[in-house]
Homo-oligomer: A and B are copies of this chain.
Amino acid sequence: MPGSRSGNQKAVVLLSGGLDSATVLAIAVQQGFSPTALSFDYGQRHRVELDAARSIAGEAQVSHKVIAFDLRQFGGSALTSDIEVPKNREHADMASTIPVTYVPARNTIFLAFALGLAETIHAHDIFAGMNALDYSGYPDCRPEFVEAFEKLANLGTKAGVEGQHFTIHTPLIHMSKAQIIQEGTRLGVNYALTSSCYDPSPAGLACGQCDSCLLRRKGFEEARVPDPTRYQKK
């Protein structure tokens, strides 16, 4: 992770509206970047995260773009079809199996759009919240995937070919959820605005039982930071 920068370099930050990406946005700002946040309206069942993303970008006073496309045309994931979201899985299971909430090639698609936006606005830095420690076992959150995308970015763009270097920053990749929350809290992230649940109620209340809720709740406990999440009553 490079230190603070004096300039006002542009960057693109993938912003889902969850805890991780909100923290990444704060880190990019703290490092002196002038970010454009990018979110996706892809047919996700937890579409309420887009409202969270808007609030987070608004509070951070950064520009925000939302690209819409419909991955329900493909299906194949609990997040984009009627497959049920698993509840109350053990932490060990999350790390060892790829669950049905995996959306085929999602991060490849998201990073591809981020690259297109970055090249267009003459940014060469892309920030994303992948995490390989407290995560759901998704293959497209691993360091080797990020490295392969960075290589692709530099081969497949005009800017890359002309000598600019695109960097994919994943400052959270080796942090625990508790460490992420501690770092974000230090940077003033308002986690009450963030939404992590895969299966929220229509009013946006978190289920408290999906992988994402379980990891989030455990993170707040271990970080000894009050959890501002509004959970559904069981």
Among A20-28, A141-149, A192-200, the stretch that binds chain B is: A141-149
Within 8 A of B (CB), among A157-176: 157-158, 160-162
| Proximity string of chain A (97-137) to chain B, C-beta cutoff 8 Å, 1 when within and 0 when not | 01000111111110111011111110000000000000000
CB of B160 within 8 A of CB of A152, answer: no
Known A106-B116, A108-B112: A160·B148 in contact at CB below 8 Å:
no
Q: Which residues of A contact B (CB under 8 A)?
A: 65, 67-71, 73-76, 98, 102-109, 111-113, 115-121, 139-140, 142, 144-145, 148-149, 151-153, 155-158, 160-162
Known A108-B115, A116-B105: A73·B69 in contact at CB below 8 Å:
no
Q: Measured between C-beta atoms, what is the minimum distance from A19 to chain B in Å? A: 22
Partner of A151, one of B69, B73, B103, B148: B148
